[in-house]
Amino acid sequence: MIVNREIILKAMVRMQKRKKIAVLGYGSQGRSAALNLRDSGYDVTIGLPPQSQSRKKARADKFAAIFSVSQAVKKCTTLCFAFPDHLQGKTYKSEILANLNENSTLWFLHGFAVHFGFIKPAAHCDVILIAPHAPGLAVRDEYLKNKSLSAFYSVHQNATGRADKTVFELSRAMGFKKSKLVKTTFEDEALGDLFGEQAVLCGGLAGLIKNGFEVLVENGIPPENAYLEVAYQLDLIIALIKKHGIEGMFERISVAARFGSLEAGPEIMGESVKKKMRSRYKEIESGKFARKLNNLSWAELNSLSKNLKKLSSPLFEKMARKFSS
């Protein structure tokens, strides 16, 4: 039997009695959390610094309750930590800890700040993790389509005895079906998330694409061709891997691609790369990377975008814009 989401949400509202949640931060993940929670019947307060440019976005989304972080914490018993990881420890000490209500729930979207010790949660609080396996835009889009992404969840501290119930209620309100939730720990989520995005999904993939593009162009292949060969078809290959596995992907591509992959794959991405990955993981596991991130100065943050340009090239970006239209 198909149950209409509207009926479920109405029932949730009755049970929740308009439970108040403060979403601290209004970036990609914060916005999706705030909108999904509101649409699921929660009374959402936004917590942002007075000078934050994100206040305009929140007002445009028709949120009337927009306060400073400390004020938002005072008004709510459930707090969603949706602002950048490297600011969470400092902000917790300066604006959150002294303003916590008794038996509050501290809800983290990543395990970073708690696992690496930048936040030592108050003993009277529940501490939970709901970490979506997607950027905020996708979380919101799938919610609107009445579809469910997967997400990690964990209960780190259960002061009230209700933390397990809370994590499933909030997951449902965010649009995550219980069958799509994967149990983890703050440690495993923090280490896996940092390593995955640095070594494979973002840093590693960007480097692989850039190098392949440049090798083709250096050898006289037109940049349009190079882009189409090393980047444009990525979503198709990734879709095959997600649906059928790596072996299944190889079964569904040409003989030339399979034979060439067998020769080139281990040569290009063999033990030397794996050795560097192991080294990177050790740096993450030791907390060295976390400390560097936590100690970033405003000058270093402002130069981040400029430095990231080194991971691409003007010619590649030109091709990406050309084929995205």
pLDDT for res 306: 86
| Active site residues per annotation | 110
Using the structure block, give the residue that is written with the tokens 């993940």: 29
Residue 9 banded pLDDT, cuts 50, 70, 90: low
Span 199-238, pLDDT tens digits: 999 999 999 999 999 999 999 999 999 999 999 999 999 9
Domains of the chain: 5-184 (3.40.50.720), 194-324 (no CATH)
Tell me the angle at which helices 234-251 and 255-268 cross, rounded to the nearest 10 degrees. Answer: 100
Could you tell me the pLDDT band of residue 10, with boundaries at 50, 70 and 90?
low
CA separation for the pair 209, 312 (Å, rounded) = 9
Burial of 296 (0-12, 13-18, 19+ CB in 10 A): middle
Closest to 169 measured CA to CA, from 181, 186, 157, 156:
181
pTM, to two decimals? 0.88
Nearest to 82 by CA among 51, 124, 54, 116: 54
What pLDDT is attached to residue 298? 86
Percentage of the chain with pLDDT > 70? 94
Q: Are 7 and 57 in contact (CB under 8 A)?
A: no
Q: Is pLDDT of 95 > 90?
A: yes
Q: Which stretches within 51-148 are classed as H helix? A: 54-60, 69-75, 85-91, 112-115, 136-144
> Which amino acid is present at 76?
C
